[in-house]
Amino acid sequence: MPALEEDHTGARIAEQRKLARLTQRQLADRLPYSYSLLTQVECGARPATADFVAACAKALNVDVTVLTGQPYVTELQRDRLAELVRPIRESLDLYDLGPNPDLTVRPAEQLIAGAGTLCEEVRATHLRKAARDLPGLIAELTHTAWSTPSTELWQALASAYRTAHDISVKLGYYDLSAVALDRMDWAAQRASNACLAAVRQYMRALMYFREGEYRIGQRLVASGHSVVAQADKTREALAVTGQLHLGASVISARAEDAAAVKVHIGEARRIAKRIGDASDVHWLSFGPTNVDLHEMSAAVEMRQYDDALKKARKISKALPSRLATSRRAHFLIDRARTEMETGNTEDALKSLVEARRVAPEQTRYHPAARETITGLVHLSRRTPDTLNHMAAWIGL
């Protein structure tokens, strides 16, 4: 069985607790979780779930990444992904310099198409390619939008900034993702696109969700609804409205508001029945399948694992082939956690192996996948070779 490294999430929680001069009992008193769970997580005997980490981060007044150890720089350097982050950061910083006379740019229609292609690459979990191509596209779009401004160009630039956010989140650079969302808002305002502005509020809400600030997340979702209400009742606006409800459902689940979860899932399902699959709208994957996936995720967040597993098994029988790879991998990671929590450790490992097969980069850097692998290691009296390989793969 692989030895548990000293800087696992539980150990980092213990370190921050000691720096705050709190005993385990004192920290547990500030959490909606038991003293027993805290002690088990700190010693590595139980995985640190996302909701538990968020609660600890809030109680200790630190960012979640301080406890998760993100970004996972060692693995990112080995995968030659860390070197792609600085150019993205620079491209986001140079948004206000106007046209660049030293830049050779492609025609506007190619740049607009390129923004859509990068969104598609991220959903296909081709993170390396998207991260490599993104800074150049942002530079060209910035130059062209300043030189010959049009709604379409500003929309494409906002989309490129959204891709910068997506890549930053998946690689664990949350500070950079916040900058990207600010730039997205800046471009969306110039495009006068209410739907894009609402998508930005949705993504901001998920950032606060990760940090355990559920009330702020709910306020941002409400703001998104107010913004998109200004748009015509088009298929685009309905899809964005539906996705806002889905975001609110998992935030409400983490806040243990089952009644609100039911309302938001119901509203999203009503819209999905009306417009069908709308996964092409701002690459949100909205549609009937995504409603089912969020309903399962909400059950996971509320720790209703038997119900979540029942939903996961039903979903697995009907996952459409067109479902974005990134969404499929996220489902498999959620399913693995559910299977582990219900004692189905072999199935949990199979789900993680499948997530790695379909989306290796996303799975390797997903905190929930890493914590579930850690949990499986501790639950196994004799660690199977496959689990040993997975543990080594994430750096355990």
Helix (H) or strand (E) holding 250: helix 235-254
Q: Which two tokens stand for residue 16?
A: 């921050």
- Average the pLDDT over each of 2-11, 101-110, 180-189, 254-263 and give the range with the smallest value: 2-11
3-class secondary-structure state, position 355: helix
* pLDDT for residue 164: 97
pLDDT at 58 over 80: yes
Q: Averaged over 366-384, what is the pLDDT?
A: 85
Kindly list the domain boundaries of the chain, sorted by start residue: 1-69, 84-192, 195-319, 324-396
Instruction: For residue 278, report the phi and psi dihedrals to the nearest 5 degrees.
Output: -130, 35
3-class secondary-structure state, position 278: strand
Domain 1-69 listed as CATH 3.90.79.10: no
Could you give the CA distance from residue 76 to residue 167 in angstroms, rounded to a whole number?
Answer: 13
Question: Do 369 and 363 touch, CB atoms closer than 8 A?
Answer: yes
Could you give the CA distance from residue 23 to residue 310 in angstroms, rounded to a whole number?
Answer: 39
* pLDDT for residue 5: 54
Could you give the CA distance from residue 34 to residue 53 in angstroms, rounded to a whole number?
Answer: 13
For a pLDDT cut of 70, what percent of the chain falls above it?
97
Which residues lie across from 278 on neighbouring strands? 286
For a pLDDT cut of 90, what percent of the chain falls above it?
84
Helix (H) or strand (E) holding 139: helix 127-147
* pLDDT for residue 1: 42
Q: Which two tokens stand for residue 311?
A: 């939903």
* pLDDT for residue 46: 86
pLDDT digit string, tens, across residues 92-122: 999 999 999 999 999 999 999 999 999 999 9
- C-alpha closest to that of 186 among 158, 151, 221, 226: 158
Distance spanning both ends of the chain, measured CA to CA: 11
Q: Which two tokens stand for residue 98?
A: 């106007």
Question: Do 54 and 210 touch, CB atoms closer than 8 A?
Answer: yes
- 394 C-beta neighbours (distance < 10 Å), count: 19
Mean pLDDT of all residues belonging to the chain: 93
pLDDT at 2 over 70: no
pTM for this prediction: 0.90
Residue owning tokens 């999430």: 9
Q: In 124-213, where does DSSP find H-type helix?
A: 127-147, 151-171, 174-191, 194-210
Could you give the CA distance from residue 130 to residue 125 in angstroms, rounded to a whole number?
Answer: 9
pLDDT at 384 over 90: no
* pLDDT for residue 346: 93
Could you give the CA distance from residue 6 to residue 216 in angstroms, rounded to a whole number?
Answer: 33
Could you give the CA distance from residue 44 to residue 249 in angstroms, rounded to a whole number?
Answer: 30
3-class secondary-structure state, position 49: coil
Which DSSP letter does residue 82 get?
Answer: G
pLDDT digit string, tens, across residues 312-332: 999 999 899 889 999 999 999
Q: Which two tokens stand for residue 61?
A: 């007044």
Q: Which positions ≥6 away from 229 have C-beta within 8 Å?
A: none
CATH topology of domain 195-319: 1.25.40
Q: Please give the residue that has the higher pLDDT: either 75 or 149.
A: 149
* pLDDT for residue 6: 64
In this prediction, residue 3 has a pLDDT band, given cuts at 50, 70 and 90, of: very low
Side-chain-side CA neighbours of 253 within 13 Å: the count stands at 27
In this prediction, residue 9 has a pLDDT band, given cuts at 50, 70 and 90, of: very high
- C-alpha closest to that of 171 among 231, 218, 130: 130
